[in-house]
Chain A
Amino acid sequence: MMKNAMAVTCRDVVVVRGDREVLHGVGFDLRAGSVTGLLGPSGCGKTTLIRAIAGLQAKVTGDVQVLGLPAGSAKLRGRIGYVTQEPSVYGDLSVTENLRFFAAVLGEPVDDVDRVIDAVDLRSHADAPVDRLSGGQRSRASLAAALLGNPELLVLDEPTVGLDPVLRRDLWELFHRLAADGATLLVSSHVMDEAVRCDRLLLMRDGDLLADETPQALLESVGTDDIEQAFLTLIDQRAGAR
């Protein structure tokens, strides 16, 4: 893929769930090889947007292009690593058994399992049933499954929730290493302090995109050094403009 190509392109993305419109025409690009943070309060549409990119969301209108193909194309399967908010692994199987299964589905060699276990630092719990692990360990097991086969695009729904600060730092370093190797990452979070770790930020609220900036540009544009404050200022500006 070309260095500056777009890994994801969204235009006028509208999603209806039930009789409610939850995304009201969202548009943005994800540059290949970048780490983008998708920030916003719970219920703002982050998960819906991520599911639309992963090709799992029903009733999507507008254009969602992923790696040059329409989202949900059969050819994309296996090229996207998707981590759901709840750890999506089998609780009655061990970490290794889970990863071997997903590797078999992907057609990846068994030694890839060892690589991803080390990447998320779960070596010491590799043979423990997932049900016996802590919440943070479970979500790392889920993340490991998404890393199998080095997917070109990783869409991660709140992968760092409930992790201790050291582990969060390590995971963000991992995300940047993956991006340096050419992967594109979209990482959602409702923790504003994770914003500064991203190359670019998407701020969402109530199904709208409030900002699509680098962290520095965002802070400068509203004249603050605090992302949470920047978020509040943007909301006020929006309300004032209406």
Chain B
Amino acid sequence: MTPRVTFAVAARVVAQLRRDHRTVAMLIVMPALLVTLMWWMFHDAPATFDRVGGPLLAVFPAIIMFIVTSVATLRERSSGTLSRLFTMPMGKVDFLLGYAIAFALIAVVQAVVVVSISLYALDLDIRGDAWQLGVVAVLDGVLGTALGLFASAFAATEFQAVQMMPAVMIPQLLLCGLLLPRDQLPDVLNAVSDVLPLSYAVDAVTGVARGNGFGDGAGTDALIVLAFIFGALALGAATLKRRTA
């Protein structure tokens, strides 16, 4: 890994995103819009919104980041720029980490917007600290990015990449505790949910929302999410091939 190259990739991805207003709007506005939609749905049942609102702050950023980044390396492959970069002193980790850093910056903006709107405009009632909720929301966005980059390394075409969303993200969405608390799942599914990253993303948010804080369980969940992020990037780098057919 070469920091010069990693940051060159990150800066380039940010420059490209700055030209692509629709994608940036999708990434930053969409999670906030979806949370607002849920708030409206549960307008007459604010207690339910308080229960699901927290997990949504984990789920929406992760899914939206996943979709956008899962086509990222495919675009580079089909345009030939990935081939060119592989003839240059660029490590596979530089490439994926550069993307992750660029999207982490977006995730920070995304988290500030969605957490601010949830807490101050939609009156989402949480017991924990707003900044901790923000940190966890950023981690969840970056988790979606890392999983998207990993899935991207598997797909051969952009068409295959978009199919990864239902395959990778929807099962996690069902089992993460948003629809049914994980301890009420059948034993086998509960065990499955124990190894899925989105479960810990939701656990971390729920923990902060309940006022447990980083010192009291939520921090461990956040660290597990962080471990999944680096794990997904490492696996993505291992899967990305310099030599292709």
Chain A positions within 8 Å of B, measured between CB atoms, are: 17-18, 51, 54-60, 72, 76-78, 80-82, 84-93, 97, 101-102, 104-107, 129, 145-146
Q: Count the B residues whose beta carbon is within 8 Å of the partner chain — how many?
A: 26
Which among A89, A90, A91 has the greatest number of chain B C-beta atoms within 10 A? A90
Interface contact A105-B79, CB-CB below 8 Å: no
B 67-102 contacts with A by CB, 8 A: 79-81, 83-90
**B81 (CB) vs chain A CBs: closest residue:** A88
Given contacts A57-B243, A104-B4, A105-B89, whether A90 and B81 have CB atoms under 8 Å apart is yes
Given contacts A77-B88, A78-B89, whether A56 and B83 have CB atoms under 8 Å apart is yes
Interface contact A58-B243, CB-CB below 8 Å: yes
Give the distance in Å from the alpha carbon of A78 to the alpha carbon of B19 in the complex.
29
Give the distance in Å from the alpha carbon of A67 to the alpha carbon of B108 in the complex.
46
Q: A54, A55, A89, A104: which contacts B81 (Cβ < 8 A)?
A: A89
Would you call B127 an interface residue if the criterion is a C-beta within 8 Å of the partner chain's C-beta atoms?
no
Interface contact B83-A104, CB-CB below 8 Å: no
Interface contact B243-A72, CB-CB below 8 Å: yes
**A97 (CB) vs chain B CBs: closest residue:** B15
Interface contact B20-A92, CB-CB below 8 Å: yes
Q: Which residues of A contact B89 (CB under 8 A)?
A: 77-78, 105-107
Q: Pick 11 A–B contacts, CB within 8 A, sort by A.
A: A51-B83, A56-B87, A57-B245, A58-B244, A76-B87, A77-B87, A84-B80, A84-B84, A88-B83, A93-B12, A104-B5
**B87 (CB) vs chain A CBs: closest residue:** A82
B 202-245 contacts with A by CB, 8 A: 241-245
1/0 per position for B2-40, CB-CB distance to A under 8 A? 001100110110011001100000000000000000000
**B242 (CB) vs chain A CBs: closest residue:** A56
Given contacts A56-B86, A77-B87, A145-B84, whether A17 and B16 have CB atoms under 8 Å apart is no
Report the tally of A-B residue pairs with Cβ distances under 8 A. Answer: 91
Interface contact B90-A88, CB-CB below 8 Å: no
Q: Which residues of B contact A18 (CB under 8 A)?
A: 245
Q: Which residues of B contact A92 (CB under 8 A)?
A: 16, 19-20
Q: Which residues of B contact A88 (CB under 8 A)?
A: 79-81, 83-84
Interface contact A102-B84, CB-CB below 8 Å: yes
Chain A nearest Cβ from B14, distance in angstroms? 11
Give the distance in Å from the alpha carbon of A109 to the alpha carbon of B192 in the complex.
51
Q: A60, A80, A90: which contacts B87 (Cβ < 8 A)?
A: A80
**A82 (CB) vs chain B CBs: closest residue:** B87
Interface contact A58-B79, CB-CB below 8 Å: no
Which among A54, A81, A85, A146 has the greatest number of chain B C-beta atoms within 10 A? A54
Beyond A92-B20, A105-B90, 11 extra complex contacts between A and B, CB < 8 Å = A55-B243, A58-B243, A72-B242, A77-B86, A77-B87, A77-B90, A82-B87, A92-B16, A101-B8, A101-B11, A104-B4
Chain A to chain B: the 9 pairs with minimum beta-carbon distance, closest first:
A88-B80, A104-B8, A84-B80, A58-B243, A77-B89, A82-B87, A101-B12, A88-B84, A78-B89
Q: A54, A76, A78, A107: which contacts B83 (Cβ < 8 A)?
A: A54
Chain B nearest Cβ from A84, distance in angstroms? 4
Give the distance in Å from the alpha carbon of A88 to the alpha carbon of B76 in the complex.
9
Give the distance in Å from the alpha carbon of A51 to the alpha carbon of B242 in the complex.
11
